[in-house]
Amino acid sequence: MSECIFCKIVKGELKAYKIYENNECIAFLDINPINPGHTLVVPKKHVENILEADNDTISAVFTAVREVSKLLINKLGASGINIIHNAGRAANQEIMHFHVHVIPRYDPEDIGLVDWWRRNIKKLNLEEIYRRIIS
């Protein structure tokens, strides 16, 4: 799986704004966020998606999802979180390494339905958001 970009991020071969890590998972800012703090939680072990993952991996990923959610609420002032997982190409999975989208919400009106799938709507400064989360 040497060409998998999320494996490269796990190994530190590709830069990412990593905001959380435990033994099994890392979490980093999505490069093309739909809201400030949009984060991806990924297992360190390469597995395609939730359908292929074993129960321990699923448990570790969703435990990390909750920790990351709390971090985003505390550091960015989010008041809600949407959690999305795309499993399979028909479900719009583009990167075939298990990842869960953790999307902070600040207001019920801050993301329209169309924004979920049309990425790159908001031009956000990842560096600035990263510093707010890790400070």
SS3 letters for 35-58? CCCCEEEEECCCCCCCCCCCHHHH
Q: Which of residues 66-95 bind ligand AMP (CB under 6 A)?
A: 86, 92-95
- Shortest reach from residue 91's CB to ligand AMP, in Å: 8
Nearest-10 crossing angle of helices 55-76, 126-134: 90
Residue 39's DSSP bridge partners are 29, 102
CA distance 40 to 24: 14
Write out the two tokens for 117.
């799938």
- 101 among known catalytic residues: no
Q: For Zn ion, how many residues bind (rule: CB under 5 A)? A: 6
64-103 footprint of Zn ion as x/- string (CB under 5 A): ---------------------------------x------
Between strands 39-43 and 18-21, the pairing is unpaired
3-42 footprint of ligand AMP as x/- string (CB under 6 A): --x----------x-----------x-xxx-------x--
User: Which residues carry out catalysis?
Assistant: 99
**Interaction site with ligand AMP (CB under 6 A):** 5, 16, 28, 30-32, 40, 86, 92-95, 119
